[in-house]
Amino acid sequence: MKKTTAIICVFNEQDTVGNVIISTSKEQFIDEIVVVNDGSTDNSKNIIDKLKFEFNLQVIHFDKNKGKGYAMAIGVENATHDIVVFIDADQTKITPNYTSELIKPLVNNEFEMVLGYSTVNVLTKEINPLKILTGERALFKNDIMPILEKIKQSRFGVETLLFFYYMSVEKSIKFTRLPGLKHRDKYKKASFKEATSNYIGEGWEIVSAALKNHDLVLKSLQRKKSIMY
């Protein structure tokens, strides 16, 4: 039976990180939890440290923010199991055992990366046009070791990088909807001006990741992939 490490990257998520850690510890197939605090300036560090021993967390604190990609890569370097599942620290509504939907296809050798996405309701239809950018995903640790340095430099473009890398090397990908899972809106975490600036900055990092890795994008367009929606 393959074991799983959950990696939770945190940047100023004091209102949600505690519940995310507690809920993750209750998930059926999680054998280890690595929490990477990416230079939070709020109370996230204290909350994490209070839970560290209760839930046997492996905790890494950065003095300064280094970006989501760097935090994820450090989490991978410290993971001791074959499968890693990334979990966003800003979840406000958590469906019990949702990580099983991400992990089981890997345990059964059906897919090589599983992306779990939430949706929004538009005209009575549940949609997510940006599901390749979801933060909830499971994959094999060894599969991303060759691009770990690229991941460290990708910041918020890390999900874009991972998607096109898997496509370019013909790894199988599954998208699975996670009903009920909700994340905290940036406009509820910061002022309108700051939240808008953050969205613009993250958007540029996504575009930048695609431009810097244009070779992967081109390869992915040239090859057939095994993807299930």
pLDDT in tens, 13-61: 999 999 999 999 999 999 999 999 999 999 999 999 999 999 999 999 9
Question: Which residues have a Cβ under 8 Å from the Cβ of 98 and sit 6 or more positions away?
Answer: 27, 116, 136, 178, 181
Per-residue pLDDT at 199: 61
Sign of the Cα torsion 173, 102, 92, 156 reads negative
Residue 126 banded pLDDT, cuts 50, 70, 90:
low
Of residues 179 and 82, the one with the higher pLDDT is: 82
Per-residue pLDDT at 11: 96
Per-residue pLDDT at 128: 57
Among 102, 88, 135, 99, which residue's Cα sits nearest to residue 26?
Answer: 99
Give strand ranges (E) for 135-219. Answer: 136-140, 173-177, 182-183
Per-residue pLDDT at 20: 97
Mean of pLDDT over the chain: 88
Per-residue pLDDT at 129: 63
Per-residue pLDDT at 133: 84
Per-residue pLDDT at 76: 98
Among 38, 20, 40, 16, which residue's Cα sits nearest to residue 30?
Answer: 20
d(CA 71, CA 27): 22
Per-residue pLDDT at 156: 84
Per-residue pLDDT at 148: 97
Phi–psi pair at 223, nearest 5 degrees: -115, 150
Per-residue pLDDT at 93: 87
Stated pTM of the model: 0.89
d(CA 159, CA 174): 14
Count how many Cα atoms sit within 13 Å of the Cα of residue 56 in the half-sphere of its side chain: 7
Per-residue pLDDT at 206: 74
| Tokens 């046009």, residue located | 129
d(CA 54, CA 191): 34
Contact by Cβ (8 Å): 155, 73: no
Model pLDDT for residues 56-115, shown as the tens digit of each residue: 999 999 999 999 999 999 999 999 999 999 999 999 988 889 999 999 999 999 999 999
Asked whether the predicted pLDDT for residue 170 surpasses 80, the reply is: yes
Model pLDDT for residues 128-159, shown as the tens digit of each residue: 567 888 889 999 999 999 999 999 999 989 99
Q: Which residues of 44-80 are buried (b: 16+ CB within 10 A; e: fewer)?
A: bbebbeebeeeeebbbbebeebbbbbbbbbbbbeebe
Per-residue pLDDT at 60: 98
Per-residue pLDDT at 227: 58
Residue 195 banded pLDDT, cuts 50, 70, 90:
low
Sign of the Cα torsion 89, 159, 229, 35 reads negative
| Mean pLDDT of the 156-185 span | 90
- The domains found in the chain, sorted by start residue, are 4-228 (3.90.550.10)
